[in-house]
């Protein structure tokens, strides 16, 4: 039996989720998930919508409680999803210092202090994606993170705008290669984020198979799988699809993290 992990999940410790941690854990156990890592939103930038929501004391005490209640049946890891941690690095360092975190996801949710949904309005698709991937390059070059969250998030929103749509792999390939080379050099992984399957107009993960294969070809090994779920009902969403993808792309392992140290789980 494959050891099943969901390494991207939100609860009401994030500004955009109402889910209680207990309900997510209960549902994860029902679905046969072995390990979950909570990755709540956190930003030190007052201009980001996430700013000011996190109460670390509350978050860590819920983790303790859930480990006490469910620890025999579910391994529970504590993580964060940081907004643009390549910016305001000193503030991030000060605020996260000493916290017992297992795992850190780094995200590009904003460009030039604008959330990407507003940023993309009236942009040319090619220039838009180029700008997005440039920001991701800055992220993997400078931030202290374990894994890049939803590598090509822009497509999730751009796909619904008729003059944008998703990107052409060949047009963005050079930029992606630069990102992957830098990430691999700095031991930063990527995730298969399955939330894209929930969106009919997209119906693919972030990133897609082609991009995942490119990462592997360049020597990428560190890979996590996450539903990016914001509700108990969708914990573990399409994890099986993601595992099949990882296998097909040639990955032998997926990764988990303890105190920010990577460990491998063999894909069977």
Q: Which residues bind Zn ion (CB under 5 A)?
A: 81, 107, 228
Say if residues 194 and 204 touch (Cβ distance below 8 Å): no
CA 148 to chain centre: 6
- Cis link prior to 207 (omega < 30° from 0)? yes
Q: How far is the CB of 268 from Zn ion (least distance, A)?
A: 27
Nearer to Zn ion, 38 or 137 (CB): 38
Q: Nearest 10 degrees: CA dihedral of 251, 103, 26, 153?
A: -70
Nearer to Zn ion, 41 or 75 (CB): 41
Nearer to Zn ion, 152 or 228 (CB): 228
Q: How far is the CB of 21 from Zn ion (least distance, A)?
A: 15
Nearer to Zn ion, 81 or 146 (CB): 81
Query: Could you tell me the two tokens for 154?
Result: 């822009």
Nearest one of 150, 151, 148, 157 to 125, comparing CA atoms? 157
Nearer to Zn ion, 55 or 124 (CB): 55
Buried b / exposed e along 222-253 (16+ C-beta atoms within 10 A): bbbbbbbbbbbebbbbbbeebbebbeebebee
- Helix (H/G/I), strand (E/B), else coil: 116: helix
- Residue 83 buriedness (CB in 10 A; 0-12 / 13-18 / 19+): buried
Q: How far is the CB of 108 from Zn ion (least distance, A)?
A: 9
Nearer to Zn ion, 135 or 228 (CB): 228
Q: How far is the CB of 130 from Zn ion (least distance, A)?
A: 20
The helix-helix angle for 125-142 and 169-185 (nearest 10°) equals: 10
For 167-260, strand residue ranges (E) read 189-193, 223-226, 253-258
Q: How far is the CB of 68 from Zn ion (least distance, A)?
A: 25
Q: What is the C-alpha separation between 204 and 201, in angstroms, rounded?
A: 9
Q: How far is the CB of 218 from Zn ion (least distance, A)?
A: 24
Q: How far is the CB of 107 from Zn ion (least distance, A)?
A: 4
Nearer to Zn ion, 174 or 179 (CB): 179
């Amino acid at each position: 039996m494959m050891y099943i992990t969901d390494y991207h999940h939100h609860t009401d410790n994030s500004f955009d989720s109402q889910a209680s941690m207990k309900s997510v854990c209960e549902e994860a156990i029902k679905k046969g998930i072995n390990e979950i890592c909570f990755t709540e939103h956190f930003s030190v930038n007052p201009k980001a919508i996430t700013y000011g929501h996190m109460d670390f004391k509350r978050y860590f005490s819920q983790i303790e409680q859930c480990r006490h209640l469910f620890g025999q049946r579910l391994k529970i890891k504590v993580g964060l999803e940081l907004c643009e941690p390549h910016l305001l690095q000193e503030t991030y360092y000060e605020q996260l210092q000493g916290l017992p975190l297992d795992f850190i996801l780094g995200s590009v949710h904003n460009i030039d202090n604008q959330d990407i949904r507003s940023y993309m309005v009236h942009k040319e698709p090619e220039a838009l994606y180029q700008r997005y991937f440039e920001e991701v390059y800055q992220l993997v070059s400078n931030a202290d993170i374990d894994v890049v969250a939803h590598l090509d998030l822009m497509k999730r929103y751009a796909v619904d705008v008729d003059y944008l749509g998703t990107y052409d792999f060949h047009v963005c390939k050079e930029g992606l290669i630069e990102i992957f080379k830098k990430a691999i050099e700095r031991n930063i992984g990527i995730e298969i984020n399955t939330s894209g399957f929930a969106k009919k107009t997209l119906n693919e993960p972030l990133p897609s198979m082609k991009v995942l294969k490119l990462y592997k070809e360049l020597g990428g090994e560190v890979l996590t799988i996450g539903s990016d779920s914001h509700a108990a009902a969708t914990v573990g969403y399409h994890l099986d699809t993601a595992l099949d993808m990882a296998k097909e792309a040639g990955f032998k392992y997926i990764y988990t993290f303890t105190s920010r140290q990577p460990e491998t789980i063999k894909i069977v």
